[in-house]
Structure formats: C-alpha cells, structure tokens
Amino acid sequence: MKSKGLSSLVSIVVIAVGLLAATIAAGNKPLLGLDLKGGAEVVLEPVDDSGLSGSDLDDALDQAAEIIRNRVDGLGVAEPDITVQGQRIVVQLPGIDDQERALEIVGQTAELRFRPVLDVISEGSIEALASAGESTDGGSTDGGSTDGGSTDGEATPEPDGTPTAEVTPDGEATPEPEGTPAAETTTEPEATPEDGATRQATTPDAEATPDAETPAADETPSAEETPAAEETPPAEATPEDANLLGPVGDDSPYDGPFDCNPNPLRTDEMVSRVELGEGIVTAPADDAACDIVILTGQFGDETFHWLLGPTLLTGSSLDGATSSFQSIEYVVRPTFKGGAEGIDKFNEAATACYNQSTDICPSGQLAIVLDGTVVSAPNVNAPVFDRDQITISGSFDQQEADDLAVVLRYGALPLRFKDPAEGGFVRVVSATLGKDSLRAGIIAGLIGFAIVALYMIAYYRLLGLAAILSLLVSGSLLYTIVSFLSETRGLALTLAGVTGLVVSVGTSLDTNVVYFEHLKETVANGRTLRSSVDRSFPVAFRTIFWANLASLIGAAILYFLTAGSVRGFALMLGLASILDLVATYFFLRPVVRLIAQRSSVVERPGLFGIPADLVTSGQEVTAR
Amino acid sequence: MSGFSNAYRNNTNVNFPRMWPRAALVIGALLLISVVALLVRGLNLGIEFEGGAAWEVDAHGVSTAEARDALRPLGLADARIQTGDDILRVRAELDQSDQKVDEVSQALSDLTGTPLDEVNQTVVGASWGDEITKKAVRALIVFFIVIAIYITLKLEWAMAVAALFAVANDIVVTVGIYALFQFEVTSATVIAFLTIMGYSLYDTIVVFDKVKDNEGRLAATGKLSYPGLMNMSLNQVLMRGVNTTVTSILPVLSLLLVGSLILGAVTLQEFGIALLIGLLSGALSSFFIAAPVTVWLKERFDSRYAEARERAVARAGGTKEAREAVRSQVSSVEDAKAQLQGPDADFGTGGAPRGRKQGKRR
C-alpha cells in the first residue's frame, strides 16, 4: 500500500517535471491569441444561398478554409490561423494591424485569370537535368525525352499529361485518355506532326536535354556549369544588354523581356534557370502585376512550372461552371457571360490559342490561374465557342472535375461569404494593448496564486503546502498540454483562456479543501490521524469526481455547441477539471499519506491544520 | 469558544432552516431588482452583439470633448466616446464603410499622438451577435437538460431541480447587476457567466453529495427530519464552502486589482466584476436556495419525510404555532451528529452507524 502510493507519487512528479522540462527544452510554448499579441481577425460567414447543409456545407467550409489558408500562406503572413468554427471561418492574421490589408488578404474574390501558355517547364525536366550524365533517370521522366528527341510524344512533361486538358466545343469532346499536349493538338487536322514537332521542340524536355544542343550553349548555363551560372553575366545584364543578346534559343516560343524579374534576363534564360532549379518563379502575389510570369501548378505528385503570357481574360467573364460525367470521363462545363466582356473575350483568346498564334499563344494552351497558381491548362480545340457550349476535358477524375468547376464558379471559394463588415467580424488589436493584457493576466495570476498559497498554508499548514505542490503539478501538466496543442493543433491562448486559468487556481484547490475538511471531521470523530487519512480520501475523492464530471459535461457541451473564445474557455475548463483529478489522485493522496507516516506529525496534528484538542474532543464524544 | 475557533474545528452549529425565510426575502428582493433592471434599463450590449465599429487608443490625456470635436468632420459627433484609465474608447454605428473606419483610426491617432498601428479597432456586422446569442442559448438549454439528467441519475430529481434553481438565480443576479450598472456585456462577460454557472453547480453538487451520503445512513433510523438532515450536512460542508469561496475569490480580487492598475486591461476588470458577484452568489445559493428548495420538494413529494414532519407537528401539539416551531426548530447539529455517528462511526464507507443515541427531541 505504502510503496504503491510512493510509486505513483514518484511517477507523477517525474512525468510532470520531465514533460515540463521537455516542453521548455523543445521550445514549445502556448501560442498567444490575437488579443494578447496583436493582429487582425476576420470572421467570414457564408451567405445562405448555397443550398448546402449538413456535411456538404462542412465540406465546403473546409475547402474554403483550405483555399484561404493557401492564399494567406502564399502572401507570407506569419503564423496565420484559419479555422472553421461552426459555420464560420475565422482567419487570424498576427502582425497585420490594418483592417483594409486584412480584408484584402482574406479577400472576397480570388483572382482567376486566363493566361496563354508560352512554355511548359516540368519538374521532371529539372530532375533530368540535375542527374545529367549519370543516366539515373528519375522514373518520373519519360525515358525517351532524355535522348533529346523531338518526336511529339516527348513534348509531354508527364506521360499521363495531367497538367493539360483540352477545351472543346460541346459534343466535340474527343476524350484523350493520354491527354498529352501533343496528343491534343492532333485532334486538329492542322496540327501536323511537323508543326507539333517544331513547337514541341521548344518545350522544356527538349531544351532540358542534358546534352543540350541549345544554340547558345555558351551563354545559357549548361548543367555542368550550374554552380558558376549563378555569378555569370546573365545576372548582371542590364536591360539594354538583354535586348542586345539577341535570340538565344531561336526555337523558344517567346523571347521577349521577362518583366517580373528583378534581373532583366531574357525569358529563355529564365526558363533555363527554372529548369536548373534556381527557383525563379513569380510570387503568386505578383500575378496581377506582371505580364509575363512563371507560375507553378501541382498535378499529382509533380510540380510544373509554366511560362505564361499576359492575362487575356479574368474570372469576371465567367458566369458559372458545372462538372458532369460525359460518355467516358468527367468533364467541366464553364458558362461565360454574354457580350464583349464575356464570351467575346474568351473567343478572342480561344482563336489566338487555336491558331497557336506565335505572338500570343504559341502552345495553343490557355492556362487557368487561380491566385497565382495554375489549376489547369487546357488546349483549345476550336476557334469560336458558344457561351454555354464549352467542355473542358482531360482525363479528370470526379474530384478533379469538381474542384475545377468550383474554381471556375466561385473564383476560389466554394461558398459565397457575406461582406465581413456587414455579416461578419473584423477586429484589429494593437500589439501593445495585447501585451498589456497578457502582462496584467500573468501578474494577476501570480499575485492570486501567492495569496491563495499563503491562505492555504495558514489554514491547513502542511496539508496546505501539499495542496500548493499538487497545484504546481497539475499546472505544469496543463502547461505541457496547452503547449503541445499549440504546437500541433494551433490552439491559441486568449485573454479569456488566461483569465479562465487564473480563476481555476482557486477552484481547483477545492478538491484539496474537501479532502482536508473531511479529514478533520474524521479525526474529530475519534479516529487516529493515520487511519483518517486513508479513510477520508475515497469519500472526498468520490465527491470531487462527481462534481468535476459535471464541470466536464458542461465544458464538453460548450465546446461542441459554441464557437470562438467560449470554445477556448471550455477547453481550458475541461482540461483543468481532468488534471485536477489526476493531480489529486496521483500526487496529493500519496503525499498526504507519506506525511501522515511521520510520527512527528502524528504527535502534532496542528501541522495538519487540525487543532490538537479536536482529537481529544473526538474522544469526548466517545466518552459521552 | 470563538466563532472562528469553532469553525476551524468544523464545529459549527448554524441553524440554516431558521435563516431560510429571511434569506428568501433577500434573494427575492435581489431577483426583483435584477429583473426590473433588466426590463427597465436592459443590457449594455457590447459591439460583438450589436454590430458597429469600435476603437480603443491610449488617450494621452485627450478628453472626450476633444475627441468629439476631432470626429465631427467625419460625421461622427454623436459617437459614443468614453475615457477611463487613460484609454479612449469610441463606438459608432458604422458598418461596411471601411473607408471611414480607417479614417477614424487615423483621426484618433493624430489626436492622441498614438501610432496608427497601436489603435485597436473592431468592426462587427449586425448579424454577428444574433448568431452568437443563438448558439449560446442553445448550448445553455442543452447544458441544463444534460445536467438535470446527470444530477437526477447521480443524486435525485429534487436535487436536480433545486440545483438548476440555484444556478438560474446566480445567472439572473449577475446579469441583473450588469443591467443595473450598465456594465458592457462582451464575450468575456459571457465566459464569466459560464464560469459562474459551472462553479455554482459544482458547489451545489458537493453539498448535495454530503446530504445524500448522510441520508443513506439515516434511512435506517427514520428519525431525523429532512430539514435536520440538510442542516447537519450544511454545517458539515460549511467550512469547506467558505474556504473554497475564499480560494476562488482571492485570485479574482487580484484580477480586479491588477486590472485596475494596469492600463488597457479592461477586459480583466469586467471579467473580474462578473466573477466576483457570481462566485459569491454561487457559494450562497447552494446554502440558501438549493438547500431549501430540496427540502421543500422532499417534504412535499417524498412521503417518508412528509410523514416525519407531520408526526413532529402532531407531537408538538398540532397547532399552527407548532407547525411554525417545527419548521424553524431543528435539532442541534451536535444532537444530529451524536444520533448519526457513534464513536466508531465509519464516516468513510457509509456503513450502518453503530452506537447511535436517541436525540432528545425525538
């Protein structure tokens, strides 16, 4: 019995101290909520017209949150926190202290742009280049492409050609299971193999061929020269130089200035450098500002880079989009608005791409760009379309088709949201005031703790000391858990949470008070201190257990049925209730028992806050 | 022995039933004031519930009048402007006009000399609060139902009803004080209300657990009246209640104190006031609401105790005066204890007490 208590005591102390030390050593600490560290908070509430409910709505909200998260991440906001709470999306942007900027970041409408594809640069080609000479050809690269062939098959960045799809007038969709860029153009009689070959020779795979017979190999860094390439002239080239450099890759589809690069390299050089993995990619945020951009898109496991021309039309030309299953595959059907700003604009772009106009759209592909990311780059298979008779196909699976339709329909978000200033919530907290609140909370907590500790020790003496130690044990466990949840789940400690913790200092001592009072009563009833210690605990613990269970039920209800700060409070309340029980059972019980073993204490019950005469008066009861 | 000395020895002998009628008057008066305040003055709902825009900025000695003058060109001369703790607070019925919201921030920054990025601003849509309120009310209803079921299963239905009465009282009184003094209700306040609810309930369950425990052992005797049983239990948990309340209130007082000393910690102060009132009310309501309501229900709906009471009245003469006397007259705690616990009474296991003595009055 004694050793059992002792082992639980030792374990809990070791666990509590160990976890606390590990938490501190790992640098984990509770994340601070916006009200404590400053920043902006925007709450988005969906407009009720989506017709979605239940799990569909939840899915849509999750999807929207994910899209917003990507957007915010792309903009480089530090530690953003985007969560779905109930039927709202809460976006917290620490460090953003201007409301307009916050709204801009969260943005009601994503930027959907249609840009012509000038060139496709696949990740695969970068790998191929990197492994040049060692013919250990990454499985992802088409084996044939490394031999520098210019047969149209190799133009495909990826064998299954996911990055590209095709746009066809309704009913003419000729599903191309392979969906390779080259294969698609072949649906058009004009796209003769020769044509294809010349153009496709310009595609990255051809260019990236290790034994690059690129005409200007001396200027374009080859794979072998990679290290040096970083310091070589191209980087220093002035704008004039750039223009004077003349056509380097005369097979390049586009060799005009690359306007979104700090160093005015020519575009083909940019392409080469991207292929070298030097990461010269337009920041998604610059998508709107630049004409010629290099953007990425994720297809399957591969990241592709695309060299894209100026925006031909934006999402505002679109009216809607649906996805459906057509004959053998899933397709997406966008609908454009009528008139000059709608279908006419699209047709203008379609004509240019269909004709593979060298100036505008040499590849014949029209990329759909969302927030600076290429979501699809279908080939255009007709010069003119009716506004509601358009099909995008490209061996999509159902999910891909749905996602693309969502992107086209809503620009970005699968739901429409109310203007945050009308139906939602925008808050900007200055970092100074936040820090003041945090400081006040911590000081109040420490003072409160000190006073309570004095009171407990004055009233219960050694027992009071044990109670304070027990509080420290549960406190360090709580700190560990909160830090861990902060680290893994993004749980942030808000002012409400801090104050909740301050209050819990007092209430969690109740467990001890109930026990000690019961102990005193049992002693008064004539029992010895030692047997009272053992007998009182189960009774007191049972009471505390049932009372804490009620708190826990309350916390759970609040947690699941409310949102925002109330939720954070409920979590703290629940955690504190559980840890209170843990610390009482595994720490307080053995500690009190251990103290009661010492004869010096038994002789002087005053050390337990039990008046010596109480023991006698208990005996008087017996005598009566 | 002095009162403290007795209390320290857990040797109190307070006659709670005799205090109940007077307590009921006080509680009734408080409830009346609360309800009237709520109906007449209403709650001063914060921006989160009403929508609009609000700013907070270090005042640096700027007065409300100066602030009003500065905001007049923006058409916001009628905005609600307050200063306190050298913090200037402005609230206006602005909604979507982001332009103006930023203009006000700029104006306040210029006026007070506070950098723009240290101006707190909040804009809340009008429908936001409805949603919060709806959710909170729904959560509350579920909470009450589940807790009622829980107490009924764990203890008994009369106690469930009584506990909810006590909790409801605490909430009404706290909310009433907010209405009376027009404290602003924010989401921090809502959390304070919830804390109070949790605390009140917890406190009541601890008391009732004791009653149930004593009743289990008393059932064999059938002698002690329910008020007597309740009184004894209340005396047994009295010091625990006092100590728990003290340890809970001390940190809250420190919250209030620090909140008032440190600028900008207004939320802490509001939170502190709500908690202070609520914790006191929660501690008292266990003794003065939950307990008498349980007694009342038990004596009406539990035939055992109804009969015990009638027998006592009959023994005392059966007159109206006798009835009164029985109501306020509870055997002393000493007697009850002696009756319940012999020298070897096993307090821990709830086993049948031995060495019982007959109470004098029974």
Does residue A394 contact residue A179 with C-beta atoms inside 8 Å?
Answer: yes
- Where b means 16+ CB within 10 Å and e means fewer, B299-322 reads beeeeebeebbeebbeebeeeeeb
For residue A559, pLDDT beyond 60: yes
A99 touches chain B (CB under 8 A): yes
Q: State the average pLDDT over residues B54-77.
A: 79
A253 touches chain B (CB under 8 A): no
Q: Which runs of E-coded beta strand occur in B288-345?
A: none
B265 touches chain A (CB under 8 A): yes
Is residue B343 exposed (0-12), middle (13-18) or buried (19+ Cβ within 10 Å)? middle
A495 touches chain B (CB under 8 A): yes
* Separation in Å, CA B53 to CA A34, A492, A499, B115: 18, 25, 25, 19
Average pLDDT, chain A: 68
Give the nearest chain A residue to B262 (CA atoms): A440
A497 touches chain B (CB under 8 A): no
Does residue A163 contact residue A180 with C-beta atoms inside 8 Å?
Answer: no
Residues in chain A: 624
Q: What is the rounded CA–CA span in Å between residue B203 and residue A551?
A: 11
* A332-370 pLDDT, tens digit each: 888 887 777 778 888 888 888 888 877 778 878 888 887
Q: Identify the sign of the CA torsion A461, A463, A469, A470.
A: negative
In 3D space, the residue among A149, A129, A128, A130 whose CA is nearest the CA of residue A139 turns out to be A128
**Of A565 and A90, more confident:** A90
In 3D space, the residue among A195, A192, A255, A170 whose CA is nearest the CA of residue A219 turns out to be A255
* A386-404 pLDDT, tens digit each: 877 788 877 777 777 777 7
A456 touches chain B (CB under 8 A): yes
| Most confident among A589-593, B133-137, B274-278 (mean pLDDT) | A589-593
* A15-62 pLDDT, tens digit each: 999 999 998 888 888 877 777 777 788 877 777 665 666 777 777 777
For residue B164, pLDDT beyond 60: yes
What lies within 8 Å, CB to CB, of A51 at 6+ separation is none
Q: How far is A445 from chain B (nearest CA, A)?
A: 7
B314 touches chain A (CB under 8 A): no
Which position has the token pair 């759970």? A556
Q: Is A282 helix (H, G, I), strand (E, B) or coil?
A: coil
Q: Assign residue A490 a region: left if phi > 0, alpha if psi is -120 to 50, beta otherwise?
A: left
CB-CB under 8 Å, A517 with B240: yes
Element (H, E) at A549: helix A529-561
| Distance separating the N- and C-terminal Cα atoms of chain A | 35
Give the pairing of strands A492-493 and A31-32. parallel
pLDDT score for B116? 76
- Where b means 16+ CB within 10 Å and e means fewer, B56-95 reads bbbbeebeeebbeebbeeeebeebebebeeebbbbbbebb
Q: Is A394 helix (H, G, I), strand (E, B) or coil?
A: strand
Element (H, E) at A83: strand A81-85
Q: What is the rounded CA–CA span in Å between residue A393 and residue A329?
A: 8
* A406-432 pLDDT, tens digit each: 667 655 466 667 665 555 667 777 766
Q: State the average pLDDT over residues A160-185.
A: 45
Q: Is B75 helix (H, G, I), strand (E, B) or coil?
A: coil
A-interface mutation test, from B258, B270, B334, B339, most A Cβ less than 10 A away: B258
**Of A603 and A241, more confident:** A603
* Separation in Å, CA A7 to CA A3, A15, A29, A570, B158: 6, 12, 29, 33, 43
- DSSP code of A417? B
Which residues in chain A (2-61) have CB-CB distances under 8 A to chain B? 35, 43, 45
| Among candidates B96, B195, B240 on the partner chain, residue whose Cβ is nearest the Cβ of A500 | B195
A555: chain B residues, CB-CB within 8 Å = 198
* B85-133 pLDDT, tens digit each: 677 778 777 655 556 777 787 888 888 887 777 777 777 766 666 766 7
B-interface mutation test, from A425, A457, A565, most B Cβ less than 10 A away: A425
Q: What is the rounded CA–CA span in Å between residue A299 and residue A156?
A: 13
For residue A306, pLDDT beyond 90: no
Q: What is the rounded CA–CA span in Å between residue A617 and residue A15?
A: 42
Q: What is the rounded CA–CA span in Å between residue A404 and residue A334?
A: 10
Q: What is the rounded CA–CA span in Å between residue A203 and residue A332?
A: 27
| Most confident among A501-505, B147-151, B251-255 (mean pLDDT) | B147-151
Is residue A195 exposed (0-12), middle (13-18) or buried (19+ Cβ within 10 Å)? middle
The answer, as to whether pTM is greater than 0.80, is no
| Among candidates A437, A507, A617 on the partner chain, residue whose Cβ is nearest the Cβ of B267 | A437
CB-CB under 8 Å, B250 with A536: no
| Most confident among A301-310, A455-464, B135-144, B309-318 (mean pLDDT) | A455-464
A288 touches chain B (CB under 8 A): no
Q: State the average pLDDT over residues B151-164.
A: 92
For residue A211, pLDDT beyond 60: no
Is residue A252 exposed (0-12), middle (13-18) or buried (19+ Cβ within 10 Å)? buried
Q: Assign residue A526 a region: left if phi > 0, alpha if psi is -120 to 50, beta otherwise?
A: left
Question: Side by side, which strands form the sheet with A329-336?
Answer: A318-326, A329-336, A390-396, A166-169, A379-380
Q: What is the rounded CA–CA span in Å between residue A511 and residue A528?
A: 22
What lies within 8 Å, CB to CB, of A74 at 6+ separation is A283, A284, A285, A371, A372, A373
* Separation in Å, CA A60 to CA A105, B55, B248: 20, 34, 44
B220 touches chain A (CB under 8 A): no
Does residue A295 contact residue A369 with C-beta atoms inside 8 Å?
Answer: yes
B141 touches chain A (CB under 8 A): no
Choose the weakest-confidence range: A307-311, A364-368, A562-566, B268-272. Answer: A562-566
B19 touches chain A (CB under 8 A): no
* A465-485 pLDDT, tens digit each: 999 999 999 989 998 988 888
> Model confidence at B288, in pLDDT bands (50, 70, 90)?
very high
What own/partner pairs with CB < 8 Å and gap ≥ 24 does B147-154 have?
A: B147/A550, B147/A553, B147/A554, B147/B201, B150/A549, B150/A550, B150/A553, B151/A550, B151/B205, B151/B208, B154/A546, B154/B205
Q: State the average pLDDT over residues B198-222.
A: 82
| Most confident among A78-87, A121-130, A461-470 (mean pLDDT) | A461-470
| Most confident among B18-27, B252-261, B327-336 (mean pLDDT) | B18-27
B84 touches chain A (CB under 8 A): no
CB-CB under 8 Å, A439 with B262: yes
B-interface mutation test, from A108, A430, A454, most B Cβ less than 10 A away: A430
pLDDT score for A213? 39
What lies within 8 Å, CB to CB, of A624 at 6+ separation is B338
Q: Is A309 helix (H, G, I), strand (E, B) or coil?
A: coil
Main-chain dihedrals φ then ψ at residue A190, nearest 5 degrees: -65, -30
Describe chain B by its helix, strand, coil percentages, rounded to 5: 70, 5, 25
CB-CB under 8 Å, B251 with A517: no
In 3D space, the residue among A520, A512, A514, A518 whose CA is nearest the CA of residue A469 turns out to be A512
Average pLDDT, chain B: 77
Does residue B31 contact residue B341 with C-beta atoms inside 8 Å?
Answer: no
